[in-house]
Amino acid sequence: MKILPNINGDIMERLEKLTLLKGEYKKFRERQGIKCTRNYYMATSYKAHVTDPVVVARAWAVSNLFTGFNKVIFENDTVAGCHLGLWVPEPQYPSDDEWGDNWIVNNHGVMTFEHNFDHFCPDYRTLVKEGIPGLLSRIEASKKIHKEDAGKMDFLNSQEITILGFSKMILQYGKVAEAMGKTEIAATCKNVAINKPETFREALQLVFLTHTAFTVEGRYAMALGRMDQYLYSFYRNDKAKGIITDEDVLELLTGAFIKLQDDVVNIVIGGYTRSGEGGVNELSYLILRAVKECNVPGPNLSARIYKDIPDEFLDACLKVIGTGLGYPALMNDEINIPALLKYGYSPEDCRDYAMVGCIENFISGKQPPWSDGRFNSPRYLEYALNEGRDMRDGRLLGIQTKPVTELKSMEDVLEAFKVQLRHGAAFYVRSFNNENGRFNRNMYAQPFLSCFCQNCIGRGMDINNGGAIYPQAHGVCCMGIGTTSDSLAAIEKLVFIDKVTDLETIRNALVNNFEDYEELRDKMLAAPKYGNNEDLPDKYACMFVNMHHEIFSEFKIHDGGNFYLAMAANVTNIPAGKELGATPDGRKAGEPVSDAASPMHGRDKKGPTAALLSVSKPDYTKVACGTVLNQKYSPVIFSDENISKLRSLVKVYFAKGGQEIQINAVSKEMLKDAMEHPENYDDLVVRVSGFSAFYTSLDMEVQEDILKRTEHDG
């Protein structure tokens, strides 16, 4: 079967329209100012429904928000939907009591990321199959089942109120489009507001307006999931009927994606199907090409790679990465699916996983919204070497363990480290459960969001209160695997193998940030380093994953859910380093720790093959959340003559157990010049960690951290 789509249309005309739309979006965003009208529309409704049950009042507030905010359609739009209509210049704020609006909304309860508000992958597969009529029909059927349960009836009525408000919102977009003479958008909106979608255009429009509704509610990092799977039947049917071309599909996709640049919206392409077959199809390629043509930081594209994936698809992904965009991140199905299976999800659901936020594995539409937090692992090695105390100020922040003079072997060091880790993990879990579980879930119910999670409608229960098929999962982002592995390797090498120093001297050097210990620091820096395919540090990387998995597997979330591990840090390896004193790998106090699963920048000196062999050694089926491996390759590696070698490198890395890889293809010289002359690089996009961004918009510390990553050129 032919997979690669055939693009024969006027490419330049399509790209010109896309450029115009990008400009319209940018100008409108800059003109709109800083006043958000969300709380005005919600507060107005809360005041009108003050005697209703809270969940019903919340539903009316959401409905009023959906129908009240300004519906913006751009002249070059191909797909309607834009949250920017929420924002107005200060003089245009519609109320003279903004403080009162905010107070009323806050009084009714506002959830955040820590309380499962967003970072969710909705059940778009069911939505495009049934449409709004299907949602309303299932709500009505559930009301008949639960008619004797007042609480569930309130919740189901609330869901119905929000869906009807959402339908009106779509009709409003249709009226705006009609007034602008955009008849195709108008007809599409009017149809999907009351009927299930029948065409690719209609299915995409319904999905995009649903996503718009979530962003209007204030939800961030709401994933679009496996678009090449749930939209594929519409694409295939339209192509068979001759009512759409691949050029049309690209125009629709780019028109939607260009408006996602302000959010971390994860889209997944490729991967196994629910039945276990290879899922790459023509639409996978078209989504990949659309992201390339948009050339903006969002959406956050992820490509799921499986054992027998077509070489053409992997090459196409690498060529897009090689433009400098940094997308897509490459994910290994052969690791992620077994990792998820450990937690009791069905095999079909595990094969259907998507990502939310940056790289976080998620069971689409069947578990509550995601949350995660940062766990600064190297600090517990610091405590192990200093009797539980901070190296810089002596505070007892860990649990008291033996002084270094009583640690007589490497096993003693590792045992002290494990004791400190377990103590830190217990505090982490207690803090998360206290914060995550402190709200009365009945008072903070989310009726609209719950319509897109199985089986909230059938159970008549909120997504965060027993409605979802699976309990929530929380990601523990374990930072500094490179810093920790290098530090343990240095201790074993210098103290227990070469016997050139002792633990007490190392501890004193760290407390003094290497002042008067420069020779010892040089020896630490010369010790074997993770990222060079050397056994000594790499065994500690394996131990790092195993130890964290063993410890966090002992704990449960208050609703029975699990703590996943993640080898990811976003950009918080920088503040994590500021919390630490010096470390035995030679790193000085306050400097960043290693980034996510990556080797410490500058220390992987033996080329990309050695780096990937090191990173593939830990058992990443114990890391169910996901991994971030940041690599920086010279643009020459992505040339036509080298692409097959790069493809082979990635395939070997995945075959040996690597979980994820993402690559910057921007030279160090260009990054340096962008830092010195930012005015010349407004459109320079780089891969930061689990996301991409305009390089010159990043904080200077983040720019420098990216710049310091080892650049492999062969």
Query: Tens digit of pLDDT for each residue in 356-370?
Result: 998 999 999 999 999
| CB proximity list for 526: less than 8 A, separation 6 or greater | none
Q: Tell me the one-letter amino acid at 472.
A: Q
Compute the distance between CA of residue 512 and CA of residue 502 in angstroms, rounded to an integer.
16
The count of other CB atoms within 10 Å of the CB of residue 705 is 21
For residue 709, what pLDDT is reported? Answer: 75
686: pLDDT strictly greater than 80: no
Collapsed DSSP state (helix, strand, coil) of residue 474:
strand
Mean model confidence pLDDT for the chain: 94
pLDDT band at 714 (very low <50, low <70, confident <90, very high): low
Q: Tell me the one-letter amino acid at 699.
A: D
Closest by CA position to 377, among listed 557, 539, 580, 550 = 580
Query: Tens digit of pLDDT for each residue in 45-77?
Result: 999 999 999 999 999 999 999 999 999 999 999
Q: Tell me the one-letter amino acid at 408.
A: K
For residue 165, what pLDDT is reported? Answer: 98
CB 570, CB 472: distance < 8 Å: no
Compute the distance between CA of residue 506 and CA of residue 375 in angstroms, rounded to an integer.
24
Q: Using CA atoms in the order 687, 562, 656, 381, what is the torsion angle rounded to 10 degrees?
A: 80
Least-confidence region, from 74-78, 418-422, 668-672, 686-690 = 686-690
Mean pLDDT, range 452-475, rounded to an integer = 97
Q: Percentage of the chain with pLDDT > 70?
A: 99
Query: Tens digit of pLDDT for each residue in 12-49?
Result: 888 898 999 999 998 888 876 779 999 999 999 999 99
Least-confidence region, from 208-222, 420-434, 624-638 = 624-638
Mean pLDDT, range 473-502, rounded to an integer = 97
| CB proximity list for 16: less than 8 A, separation 6 or greater | none
For residue 13, what pLDDT is reported? Answer: 86
Residue 314 backbone phi and psi in degrees, to 5: -65, -40
1: pLDDT strictly greater than 60: no
Q: Percentage of the chain with pLDDT > 90?
A: 82
Least-confidence region, from 4-8, 120-124, 193-197 = 4-8
Query: Tens digit of pLDDT for each residue in 370-411?
Result: 999 999 999 999 999 999 999 999 999 999 999 999 999 999
For residue 690, what pLDDT is reported? Answer: 66
Least-confidence region, from 274-278, 417-421, 633-637 = 633-637
Structure-block tokens of residue 510: 């760290």
b/e sequence 237-260, b meaning 16+ C-beta within 10 Å: ebbeeeebbbbbbbbbbbbbbbbb
For residue 3, what pLDDT is reported? Answer: 73
Least-confidence region, from 148-152, 284-288, 405-409, 603-607 = 603-607
For residue 609, what pLDDT is reported? Answer: 93
676: pLDDT strictly greater than 50: yes
CB 681, CB 348: distance < 8 Å: no
| CB proximity list for 13: less than 8 A, separation 6 or greater | none
557: pLDDT strictly greater than 60: yes
Helices marked H in 218-310: 227-230, 232-241, 246-257, 282-294
For residue 677, what pLDDT is reported? Answer: 85
For residue 692, what pLDDT is reported? Answer: 75
683: pLDDT strictly greater than 80: no
Burial label, 31 (beta-carbon count in 10 A; 0-12, 13-18, 19+): exposed
For residue 8, what pLDDT is reported? Answer: 67
